[in-house]
Amino acid sequence: MLLQQLITGISVGGIFALLATGYSLIYSLLDFSNWSHGEFAMVGAYVAIVFSNLLGLPFLVAAAAGVAGGAAISFLCERTTYRRIRSNGAPNMFLMIAAMGLSNVLQQAANLIFSGQYRSYAFRLPVTTIQIGNSYIGVLDIISLCITAVVLVLLIYIINKTKFGLNVRAIASNSYAARVLGVRVDRTIAMVFLLAGSLAGVAGVLYGMKYNVFPTMGNVGLKAFIASVIGGLGSVPGAIVGAVLLGIIETLVSAYISSSLRDFFSFALLIVLLLVKPSGLFGVDVQDKA
């Protein structure tokens, strides 16, 4: 049974990971937690709903549109809000407050447009499962984990092996120096928002397939944020490890202690970690962000 709980934990953590890396990417560049990141996933999920259920397009097209939707809303928030605040020279706290506002606006807008109803994609995978010894894993979970893994490997490759990734790391390390050396800082930041938004879009579509689409689904972003703090804010690999760890912890607490204590454990862990090892498991210092 423990193996079954671990499988569940990893599957829960996979979704956290897609979002947590987004938090980390933005944090590494701008030193603020983008509280509206969970809502980017929600927007992506609803875009996919519109394409699949209202326009009747094939699900793969709808899913791609969902990913694009997440990217677009993320990019739009950067261009219309965050960039303006930065160029005004306002403190980072302002970015965080703006992000909270955006999160609320997006959630309420979804509520107004789509109502609070739970919605599911017209496309439905049959409920099939694969048995491994005494444990089972759903086919949807396998697909979702594979997509997550591929996306995250791709992300790590982009950050570490491409010129764009080098620019990101340069800005994360010292944005002033990067600018002096010819890195186009605003452009790179906008690209990172696109990237983080598309990751959120992937998370939103997968989350919607597993658990339905609803306006408050972006609240899962809070868990992803905790995951990224556990891993070390600003570290992409840290965020992934933190997310899987958190997924497993939450599942084990629900199973063996009580589901009512699940959030208590998650947040207590966050507080303890901030007291004992504020830099997170992967202990990122300023030089190694992203």
Partner 1 sequence: MKKIVAILLVTVLVLALAACGTQPSGGGAPAPDKGASDTIKIGYVGDLTGPTALWGTAGKYGAEMAVKEINAAGGVLDGKMLELVPMDGKGEAADSVSAFKKLVEEHKIVAEIGTNFSSCNIPMASVADQVKVPIIGTAASNELVTIDESGKLHPYSFRMCFIDSYLGTVIGNYAYDNLKLEKAALFTIAGQTNSESVGKFIKDAFEGKGGKIVADEQGQEGDVDFRAQLTNIKKAEPDVIFIVMNDYAKTATFAKQARELGIKALMMGHDGWDSAQLAGEANGALEDCLYVSRIGFNSPEAKAFGEKIAKEYNIGMEAECLFGYDGVMWIVDAIKRAGSADPTAVRDALEGTDVFKGLIGTLVMDPKTHNPSMACAVYKCTGDAFNYVETIEAQK
Q: Does 141 bind partner 1 (CB under 8 A)?
A: yes
Q: Does 48 bind partner 1 (CB under 8 A)?
A: no
Alpha-carbon distance 259 to 88, whole Å?
A: 45
Alpha-carbon distance 19 to 21, whole Å?
A: 5
Nearer to partner 1, 35 or 214 (CB): 214
Total residues at interface with partner 1 (CB under 8 A): 41
Q: Choose one: 19-27, 41-49, 63-71, 250-258; the region binding partner 1 (CB under 8 A).
A: 250-258
Alpha-carbon Rg of the chain, whole angstroms? 19
Q: Choose one: 49-57, 118-126, 236-244, 276-284; the region binding partner 1 (CB under 8 A).
A: 118-126
Nearer to partner 1, 179 or 210 (CB): 210
Structure tokens at 8: 């569940």
- Give the rounded distance of the alpha carbon of 89 from its chain centre: 27
- Give the rounded distance of the alpha carbon of 134 from its chain centre: 32
Q: Which of 81, 185, 191, 262 binds partner 1 (CB under 8 A)?
A: 262
Q: Supply the minimum distance, in Å, between the C-beta of residue 3 and partner 1.
A: 10
Alpha-carbon distance 17 to 150, whole Å?
A: 12
Which residue is associated with the tokens 């020279």? 89
Nearer to partner 1, 98 or 233 (CB): 98
CA distances to 26, 79, 159, 275 from 189, in Å: 8, 10, 13, 31
Chain residues in the site for partner 1 (CB under 8 A): 1, 4-5, 8, 11-12, 109, 111-113, 115-118, 120, 124, 126-127, 129, 131, 136-138, 140-141, 210-212, 214, 216, 219, 250-252, 254-255, 258-260, 262-263
